[in-house]
Chains A and B, each alone.
Chain A
Amino acid sequence: MSFFERHILETLIYLPMLTAAVLVALPFGARAAARWLSVASGLALLVGSLYVFFVFDRSVDGFQLVRVLPWFDPLGIDFRLGVDGVAVLMVLLTGIVAFAGTIIAANVERETKSYYVLLFILIAGVYGTFVSIDLFFFFFFYELAIVPMYLLIGVWGSSTKFKTFDRPKEYGAMKLVLMIVAASLLVWVAIIVMYNEAGLGTFSIPALSEFALSGGEGGGPGFSPEFQRVVFPLVMVGFGLLAGLWPLHTWSPDGHVAAPTTVSMLHAGVLMKLGAFGIIRVGMLLLPEGMQDWALVLFILGTVNVIYGAISAMAQTDLKYVVGYSSVSHMGYVLMGIATMDPVGITGAALQMFSHGVMTALFFAVVGAIYERTHTRDIFVLNGLASRMGWITAFFVIAGLTSLGLPGLSGFIAELLVFIGAFRTQPILGVLGVIGALLTAVYILRLVGRVFYGERSGEWDGVRDLSAREGFAMGVLVVPIVVVGVYPGPFLDVIAPGVDLVLAALGA
């Protein structure tokens, strides 16, 4: 391994932490410096993520770029980093969204510096979770990513007033953090009991996965089927909640709506993926038989997510709530794809994680831009924006078309693969999934018709279109959407070894 290859993964964790530290050291009022530093750091993260993406060897199964630093021997905890195919894609996603997000975050006027500090802690946590292959650090970074959310939403967020009730930002922040932390307790319990049950004295995921495959007495599967059946639901619910698993999804719309733009982008775009990633990484890899026992439940819940989220989105009157519920709906495809346990279906789930991440970040960026200009998100108030804000409209429509599964854009390939996997295993649920895509078209086009089309009204005469900086950030997000839609080969090739790993565990 070259020098870069050996150190790249840890750099992705250290760099945002270092950025946060430097930001703290910056004098108050050095707002411009803070912005430049943050954007530069975001760019460096994107470059580093792209490096991981390209250096990853697509022909080799298993973890790559592995780096082990002993940390606490008595318990067998190591700072152990490495990536498989799915993780590489998630690293790339994080890089893209983090870069675009830091650019958009320059719009924040209040306490800019502190905002960036928390943002980079969040980013460090996200990277750490994706590249850790030691359960202890996996969990540590997972929690690290959640803590800053409370402050970011509570301080910089926005409250929503509806006709009959309010959703203050403090409520959104509180609910989001409490629910995710509560769910992570389940995950922690699962990790501890697996550690004990395996009795290997290590938290290493490769070692545990080896054990799960053939480490038991007589070469059989490591964890007994009964153990797996009991522990898997902890993992499924614990991680599933972060992925928006119905009926534990309600933190997601409220939390995302309350959050400031960049936080929504990162949270819906990247953090929700941590949940699905956790199910694949811990659930499928370490508890394959438990996965098989519970697959149908996950499948049904995922399908409920798709339909329920879409129908709820249809009834929303707040632009951001529509996007929030659409995330609930689209994460359902990820859960469905995972539950197929089929090579095509899982590949689709992984691609959908990436696609939805970029798309939803774009959605939140656009909605944030609209809100900053018009100070409302009420779709009955906004109208005819297209004639005033051509670029904003274009970006929203691109995101919308991605979400309704238009060919040529990333969402189509991902959802198609999920559908194929679903029809191979549970055709009825597959049909519901396809209907979900139709419902998406309904609520997206309804939005476009109401908010962007329509007569030019004098009300929005004064509002500007996107600045070049914002346009650039959104352009950064559009590139992967189009590239994956037109030329998904490289992305699918990266996913393939990761899927092989999981399939080997599932014995397929």
Chain B
Amino acid sequence: MEQAWLIPLYGLIAFVVLALFRGFLPWQGKHLSVLAAAVAFITVWPVLFDMVRQGVGLYRYPKEWFTAGDLSVGWGIMVDPLTVVMLALVTFVALAVQVYSLGYMRHHGADDPRIGWYYAVHSLFAASMLVLVLADNLLLLYVGWELVGLCSYLLIGFWYERPSAAEAAKKAFITTRVGDVGLLIGIVLLVVEFGTFDIGTILAGVTAGDANGTVVTASAFLIFLGAMGKSAQFPLHVWLPDAMEGPTPVSALIHAATMVVAGVFLVARLFPLFDAVGSVQVAIAAVGIVTVFVGASLALVETDLKRILAYSTISHLGFMMLALGAGSLTAAIFHLLTHGIAKAMLFLCAGAVMHAMNDQTDIRKMGGLRKRMPVTAAAFTVGALALSGIPPLSAFWSKDEILVAVAGGLHPAFLVLLLIAIGLSALYMARALRLVFFGELSRENEGVREGPLVMGGTLAVLGALTVVIGVIALPLPGGYDGIGSFLYDAVGGAHGFELNVVWAAVGTALAVGGLGAGWWLYDRRPDVVAAVQTRFAGVHRVLVEHFYIDAAYQWTIDRVILRVSGALALFDRLVVNDRGVNGTGLAVVEAGRRLRYHVTGVFADYGMAMVAGVGVVAVLLWLQA
């Protein structure tokens, strides 16, 4: 199992080679990156089997990194079921997306001119994300955390000639950095308290309860702030829709399946810390459910296909946080897994559509595409049904888990809201599905065709996986007792897996209801939709403006931050420099100018001055005597 440390290494090597030598490699070395991703994916399996065979548990391989003053820092890895699940998801989706990109990043028979750089950053991303999930100490985790943020920045801004892409990249990095301020302070507080970065030691200390309560509470809240930024939780979610400026495979990998779930992973990794602080648990659940509604409601009015999926991602990340707030690590991680695969597939479907339609993302220009793109349409349908929670597709199982957890662990109000949200999720999925793939094919889209085989093939694999992945919820031959006990046994105190027939039925009914309602509205009665929009024009406006959150941030930046910095810069120039520094200089000059008149050159003046001086000295001496 120790070979797990190799998994991130392949991507890192590929990154270094591509970053430095891509200009000398055939195809700019893109196949090297895919190869690295494939090898990483293969390397995960022995780790997984070892875990099942040797017994589920926590395996640690610490290594010394450096010592500074009285503080020693490691870069060891830890492998537990949580790690294994993440490793499998990350390497699989990374591989799928890189293979898909072989086709997607080619237009008219030519690769994107910067294809080597694209794959270099993909490799670095995979390596960083894997470091993040393997890290056995908070510093290494933070290293991975920041590096995935960097890769996200670089890939969102991959087409940096587009001002909107450049802007979106900056927005994503800085918004998540706001959360990272909290994360870093939280980590440093824990390190100062426990004298180590080691996650195991810190969590043991927290569980033992011999730490300063204020510090633990403060760091739990601050670390959650970091998780909110990365996992696009309200009110730090604003960067994720804009991040859709990046190439669509990037959205699938980074902004749906892997990096954005890092916040969920972080809370899961440090679960005992959050478990120890009741107030932060409630906060997590509250932030989660608000995020669910913000995402779902905005997805309902959005007309850009990728942004619909982005808002849906935000909403589902909210589901995961809600589950963590309810104390169910199992439900959160299981949903992370099922959502990751399904949502990556949906994004890749969107990519296939864009590839075929000359980067068109406006769903009002689509419709009836299933006639021209059957594979994509089928995959999208599977994904949409899965995320709505239709059995036996993947997310049905995890959504049921979340329902059970929330019903058992939180105030009933959360449960009511969750049930509404499930209906709403199905509703917006039905809308997207209907408007893009069903209905009449417009005349401009007659020429639309499926993309190359690598794209369709990837979709088929992901689709098949979405259909069958649910079985990992159940016990399998070979010593595996289902995802519940797999995750549950390692993290004592978390919620185990239990399929509750009642909740499964309720959830399914809501999903079917939501889908049916959506289909009815957008297929049969678009007039009702229009009527509702007119009737509630104010509400519609607020939604179209994303609750004015972006506008408020922009206002704060323009009117407060930039003005303050401008004023400070002016203060620095006028007061500190022109008054303080130049003023001092001018005062000296002025003193010289005035004293100059006393340098008369007249001998008698000097004589008088001398006499006066002697007189003063004499008086002083006399006084002293």
Question: Which residues on A are within 8 Å of B, measured CB to CB?
Answer: 165, 175, 178-179, 247, 250-251, 254, 308, 311-312, 314-316, 342-348, 351, 384, 386-387, 401, 406-408, 412-413, 416-417, 419-421, 423-424, 427, 430-431, 434-435, 437-438, 441-442, 445-446, 448-449, 452-456, 487-489, 492-493, 496, 499
Contacts and interface: CB of A to CB of B under 8 A. Distances in A.
B66 A488 contact: yes
A250 to B, nearest CB: 4
B174 A492 contact: no
Nearest to B193: A423
B161 A438 contact: no
B69 A431 contact: no
A452 to B, nearest CB: 7
B181 A344 contact: no
A492 B572 contact: no
Given A250-B576, A314-B562, A420 B192 contact: yes
B184 A312 contact: no
A351 B189 CA distance: 21
B170 A419 contact: no
Contacts of A175: 581
A314 B562 CA distance: 8
B163 interface: yes
A406 B178 CA distance: 14
Given A407-B142, A441-B174, A492 B66 contact: yes
A453 B576 contact: no
B20 to A, nearest CB: 11
A453 B159 CA distance: 9
Nearest to B69: A343
A316 B569 contact: yes
A343 to B, nearest CB: 3
B65 interface: yes
Given A250-B572, A407-B143, A420-B188, A445 B67 contact: no
Contacts of A314: 561-562, 565, 569
B212 to A, nearest CB: 12
26 contacts: A179-B581, A312-B569, A314-B562, A314-B569, A315-B562, A315-B569, A343-B70, A345-B69, A347-B69, A384-B161, A386-B160, A387-B160, A407-B142, A408-B147, A412-B146, A416-B188, A434-B185, A438-B178, A441-B173, A445-B170, A448-B170, A453-B163, A455-B163, A488-B66, A488-B68, A496-B67
Given A247-B580, A401-B150, A438-B178, A348 B68 contact: yes
Contact of A315 (B160, B178, B185, B566): B566
A416 B139 contact: yes
Kindly name the residue among B161, B188, B561, B585 whose own CB sees the greatest number of chain A CB atoms within 10 A. B188
Contact of A442 (B150, B165, B174): B174
Contact of B161 (A351, A441, A455, A493): A455
B181 A437 contact: yes
B295 interface: no
A344 B69 contact: yes
Contacts of B161: 384, 387, 453-456
A462 B174 CA distance: 33
A427 B190 CA distance: 12
Interface of B: 65-71, 139, 142-143, 146-147, 150, 153, 157, 160-163, 165-167, 169-170, 173-174, 177-178, 180-181, 184-185, 188-189, 191-192, 561-562, 564-566, 568-570, 572-573, 576-577, 580-581, 585
A312 B147 contact: no
Contacts of A442: 174, 561
Contacts of B67: 489, 492-493, 496
B581 A308 contact: no
A240 B173 CA distance: 34
Contacts of B66: 413, 487-489, 492
Contacts of B163: 453-455
A424 B192 contact: yes
A254 B66 CA distance: 38
A445 B565 contact: no
B183 to A, nearest CB: 10
Contacts of A420: 71, 188, 191-192
Contacts of B167: 449
A315 B146 CA distance: 26
Given A434-B181, A438-B177, A454-B163, A178 B585 contact: yes
A455 B169 CA distance: 15
Contacts of A247: 576, 580
A452 B154 CA distance: 13
Contacts of B68: 343-344, 347-348, 351, 413, 417, 488, 492
B536 to A, nearest CB: 38
The 9 tightest CB contacts between A and B, nearest first, are: A343-B69, A453-B166, A315-B569, A344-B69, A407-B143, A453-B160, A314-B565, A315-B565, A250-B577
Given A314-B562, A347-B69, A445 B192 contact: no
Given A311-B564, A312-B572, A420-B71, A406 B184 contact: no
A384 B162 CA distance: 10
A343 B70 CA distance: 7
Contacts of A348: 68
A446 B561 CA distance: 13
Given A407-B142, A423-B189, A454-B160, A311 B577 contact: no
A59 to B, nearest CB: 13
Contact of A430 (B188, B566, B569, B581): B188
B245 to A, nearest CB: 12
A311 B161 CA distance: 28
Which of A316, A343, A437, A442: most chain B CB closer than 10 A?
A: A442
A455 B147 CA distance: 26
A372 to B, nearest CB: 23
A146 B549 CA distance: 52
B422 to A, nearest CB: 37
A16 to B, nearest CB: 31
Contact of A435 (B69, B157, B181, B568): B181
A445 B580 contact: no
Contacts of A437: 181, 184
A100 to B, nearest CB: 19
B11 to A, nearest CB: 14
Contacts of B170: 445-446, 448-449
B185 A452 contact: no
Contacts of B581: 175, 179, 250-251
A408 B565 contact: no
B288 to A, nearest CB: 25
B69 A342 contact: yes
A254 B189 CA distance: 38
Nearest to B571: A312
